[in-house]
Structure 1
Amino acid sequence: MHTLALTPQENAEFAPMLTELAAAYDTIENPELIRRAPVLARQLPARLLTFLEEYRLGEPSAVCLLSGLDVDEKTIGPTPEHWRDSQYGSRAFPLEIFFLLCGSRLGDVFGWATQQDGRIMHDVLPIKGHENYEIGSNSLQHLSWHTEDAFHPCRGDYVALMCLKNPDDVETVICDAGDLDWSALDTEALYEAEFTQMPDNSHRPENTSVSTGDPVIDRLRQRSFALIQSWNDDPEKRPVLFGDRQDPYMALDPYHMKTEGWPDRSAKAFDGLCEQIETHMRGVALRPGDLVFVDNFRAVHGRKSFRARYDGTDRWLKRLNITRNLRGSRAWRPAPDNRVIY
């Protein structure tokens, strides 16, 4: 794991900038703030910028953990009951800005029209009624390990989490592809386009608002939901591994993969990979002020179950999707500077 702990002096160094930006903007979703983030991030401590650049270019590990960000639980207030309640008037706004700036050093942040109403920064928190649903807002069942948005050709290079609360030390589970013994697996079979990957539940229309009030946006979003439904009805065959055969990248989400009709060799190779991943899975209990960046090409991640209280004290994270190739999704976005994939 690639790690760095912020010092009190470094927190004091960037705190005035965060306060100033939080006073200048209304929400972390402000397009101007998001557009300026890569430039503003240059004002972060040089040691932090070097650390993030080493992770981005050198790939020393699939997991990058930044700790030591000052988080005052009284200041940020109670965990919201739902992600819809968290956008405006956020008491965690300065922390959200710090998270945005760090993420922008690894690539371009983006959102999905089909997730959390197209927001760039997501809330990860338990929602009453989702306890046993395979989605990040569940609690009583494990969130199965997966590549983030494995089904989509525009999935991010990184999925990033910032912990605001985790009083029960709920573990995020991660497996680094660098820990796997590729020589023991039938990798050639895993490079073949024989595997069907379904869209995950977080992109389903029942998990977002019915309408945004903007007819153009609503029309684009309905097109996205229709495409996702078509991938559910008739999933494309694709490989599980890609990139360098000596150091492969991965894209898989077993919970949402339809295994019927796979060739025997493909199914056996897939089972072997999943068994190794299970063996090498490690747990990380994020603490308030921890930021973790997971290489979405080189790791899978999930979360252990817990019992939510719904009293304002539950586990609360912020999440960002980050791409190193924003242009690769241009056909899916309505304008070059639009960050939402439709």
Structure 2
Amino acid sequence: MDRLEIDAAELREIDRLLDEAEGELTDLDSDEALQCATVLAHRLPARIRRCLNEFRLERMSGVLCISGYVVDQERLGATPAHWREREGNSRAHREELLLVLYGSLLGDPIGWATQQDGRLVHDVVPIRGHEHEQLGSSSESLLTWHTEDAFHPLRGDFLGFACLRNPYAAATTVGYVDALDLPASVREVLSGERFSIRPDESHLPKNNSQPAEEAFERVEEMQRSPERVAVLFGDPDRPYIRADPYFMGVADREAQAALDELTKSMDELMFDLRLESGDFCFLDNYRVVHGRKPFTPRHDGTDRWLKRINVASDLRKSRAARVGRAIR
């Protein structure tokens, strides 16, 4: 994992930029604000810009954590009990804006019409009743490792988190595909289009309050008839990965054996990443998988609270499937 610790001078520079921008860029779901953020991002401290560019070009590991930002806990107030609680401007607007600025140096932030009502920036908080679900809002069960939105061909290239608070040091888990030591025969099977991946439950109507009917029709079709895909793809010597074992099916016994071998090997490689308040973490969604270890939520306004965005390297790929930055 790579980490950049911002210094006091850089923090002042960031704060000045946020002071200037937060009043104008109030609606981060608007295309106008996102276009402006892309330009403003080039006024971030040079060392941060260089680091994110190195990360974008795969000259670093698949995990980058930028630390040292100070979150005003008093301004933040209580951790919401549900992502739906937000009304009007977010209390964490400065952190959302900084997350978008950082992400804009990697590509273009995107959202999903079928996830958190189409919002670009998501709230990741423990939700009562979701304790044992395979959702980011779960808590007491292991969130198994996966590629973010693995079921979708237009999934983001990068995933970004801003940690607002994590008082009990709940652990995000991360594993590198480059670290896998699989037999050539297993890699060959995993590189064939012999696997299917169903949508995870965050994209289902029951977990959204403003269903976009057409978008959910596509998700339901992916549930009924998922396409066959390869788990490993790209350069055979340094492959990318697309996997979510909890939601996967296979074409035959050989494919199941290969998937089992991959799961076993990746389980042994997963390591803990304990984000702290003020950490901004980016994952390469093609080179790493991630999950989360169980924790016991408090439901008293002090729980773990992350902000999350997806970033695409090429918006042209999703042109026919987007309304603004939301993929249908």
**TM-score computed with the length of structure 2 as normaliser:** 0.97
Q: What secondary structure does 2:273 align onto?
A: strand
Partner of 2:282: 293
* Aligned 1:39-118 pairs, distance under 5 A: 39-86=39-86, 88-118=88-118
Structure 2 residue corresponding to 1:339, chosen from 295, 310, 325: 325
- The answer on whether the counterparts of 2:147 and 2:285 sit within 8 Å (CA) in structure 1 is yes
Q: Does 1:304 align with 2:293?
A: yes
| Preserved CA contact (<8 Å) 2:125 2:305 | yes
- The residue type equivalent to 1:207 in the other structure is N
User: Once structures 1 and 2 are overlaid, which stretch shifts more, 105-114 or 81-90?
Assistant: 81-90
Distance in 1 (alpha carbons) for counterparts of 2:21 and 2:87? 16
Aligned-pair CA distance for 1:258: 2.4
2:221 matched to 1:230? yes
* Separation of aligned partners in 2, 1:72 and 1:25: 19
Which residue is 2:255 aligned to?
266
Backbone CA RMSD of aligned residues: 1.3
Q: How does 1:1-342 map to 2 (within 5 A)?
A: 1-86=1-86, 88-183=88-183, 186-210=186-210, 221-259=212-250, 262-334=251-323, 338-342=324-328
Task: Tell which deviates more after alignment, 95-104 or 83-92.
Answer: 83-92
Q: Is 2:109–2:120's contact at 8 Å kept on the other side of the alignment?
A: yes
Q: Comparing 106-115 with 8-17, which one deviates more in the overlay? A: 8-17
**How many residues align structurally?**
328
1:27 is displaced (CA, Å) by 3.2
Q: Distance in 2 between matches of 1:234 and 1:92?
A: 39
| Structure 2 SS opposite 1:186 | helix
State, as a whole percentage, how many aligned pairs show the same letter. Answer: 43
Paired residue secondary structure (1:106): coil
Q: Give the SS at the match of 1:237.
A: coil
CA deviation string 1:222-261 (max 9, x = no partner)? 11111111111122111111100000000000111124xx
Measure, in 2, the Cα distance between the counterparts of 1:141 and 1:300: 18
Instruction: Note if contact 2:41-2:102 (Cα within 8 Å) is conserved in structure 1.
Output: yes
- Residues 37-65 of structure 1 deviation map (CA, whole Å, 9 limit, x = unaligned): 11100110001000000111134211111
CA distance in 2, matches of 1:118, 1:20: 27
Q: Report the AA paired with residue 266 of structure 2.
A: I
State the SS of the aligned residue for 1:32: helix
In structure 2, how many angstroms separate the alpha carbons of the residues matched to 1:152 and 1:19? 37
Q: Distance in 2 between matches of 1:140 and 1:236?
A: 32
Amino acid at match of 1:114: T
Q: Is the 8 A contact 1:62 1:177 kept in 2?
A: no
Contact 2:160–2:283 (Cα < 8 Å) also in 1:
yes
Contact persistence 1:191–1:240 (CA under 8 A):
yes
Question: Is the 8 Å Cα contact of residues 27 and 88 (structure 1) preserved in structure 2?
Answer: no
User: C-alpha distance in 1, partners of 2:327/2:266?
Assistant: 30
Structure 1 residue 132, shift from structure 2 partner: 1.4
- Given residue 54 of structure 1, which amino acid in structure 2 is its aligned partner? E
Moved more, 33-42 or 109-118: 33-42
Taking the aligned partners of 1:247 and 1:59, their CA distance within structure 2 comes to 13
For 1:329, the aligned partner's letter is S
Deviations 1:169-217 (A, max 9, x none): 0000000112111446611111111101111100000111145xxxxxx
Report the counterpart of residue 218 of structure 1 in structure 2: none
Code of the residue aligned with 1:158 in structure 2: it is: F
2:206 match: secondary structure: helix
- Residue aligned with 1:23, SS: coil
For residue 30 of structure 1, report the CA deviation from its aligned partner: 3.5
How far did residue 88 of structure 1 move? 2.3
8 Å Cα contact 2:117/2:210 also seen in 1? no
**Residues in 2 aligned to 1:312 and 1:15: alpha-carbon distance in whole angstroms:** 26
Checking the alignment, whether the CA contact within 8 Å between 1:21 and 1:94 is kept in structure 2 is: no
Greater CA deviation, 74-83 or 37-46? Answer: 74-83
Q: Partners of 2:240 and 2:87 in 1: how far apart? A: 34
Residues 308-336 of structure 1, C-alpha deviation per residue, up to 9 Å, x if partnerless? 111110000000000101110112014xx
1:101 maps to a residue whose letter is L
Tell me, which stretches of 5 or more residues in structure 2 are unaligned?
A: none
Gaps of 5+ in 1: 212-220
Q: Which moved more, 1:37-46 or 1:222-231?
A: 222-231
Counterpart CA distance in 2 for 1:201 and 1:59 is: 34
Output the CA distance in 1 between the equivalents of 2:185 and 2:110. 34
